[in-house]
Amino acid sequence: MRRFEGRIAAVVGGGSGMGRAISHRLASEGATVYVADLSEDAARKVSEEIAAEGGKATPVQVDATDNDSLKALFDRIRSEHGVLHVLHAQVGMPGPGGIDTDDAQWQKNIDVNVKSAYYTCTLGYDLLKAAEGKGSITMTSSTSALVGSPFSPLYSMTKGALVPFTRALALKGAPDGIRVNVICPGTVQTPMLAQFFGREPGADVSELTKDFISGIPLGRGAQPEEIASVIAFLASDDASYVTGVTIPVDGGLTAK
């Protein structure tokens, strides 16, 4: 399928894991993808991978917690294309374990998980409006936003903020032809997975991961490409009447 032929996409947090898979998937369907990541090397590597596969991608170093950095990304897209059709906010981090969180940890989690998503979506809004009814915003939250994480209440709080934000922004965007949706992945086989289960010193990450996965109805974690396929659907015209929704992509975890 070439659902994004001639369209411009930006994946903020596109240098690894789910963001990398999303960048690849959008490019494989014809999009020109801006791979934005805190790591310039990671953004460049993903862009080179996409180019080697015959796709079009541009690496951009972006600190999604810095509004000036985000503005520079969107200014570049405006200068080079004048429009943005697909915007995905992937940036996030695991929260600290427990509830004994100092101010610095708390603020960092707010900046990475909440501030980055808010300003990614709002600073890119006018470019999406220029897509004339073809604009899509997607965000990545977590099943911890829906069922709560006893391991990190702060993580649940920050990721949970994206769910009502999605509904509100969808209402704001509807008259401008901008759809807004959020996904809530469960366990995904990415480099960040170990960080979720390794918060406590001396934790047996492999055993903790195995125990958690045993409680997933489908009996396994997701591959990043399975997350990317849902984002590609939501961003495409196949989902032209879908907005303001929260979609768990979790192997049935939240159905229990």
Question: Which active-site residues does the annotation give?
Answer: 155
Among 162, 121, 143, which Cα is nearest to 212's? 143
Among all chains, which residue has been given the structure tokens 């790591």?
Answer: 39
- Quick one: DSSP state of residue 95? P
Q: What is the 3-state secondary structure (H, E, C) of 169-216?
A: HHHHHHHHCEEEEEEEECCECCCCHHHHHCCCCCCCHHHHHHHHHCCC
Sheet holding 86-89, edge to edge: 56-61, 32-37, 8-12, 86-89, 135-140, 178-185, 246-249
Name residue 73's amino acid: L
For 21, the token pair is 């898979």
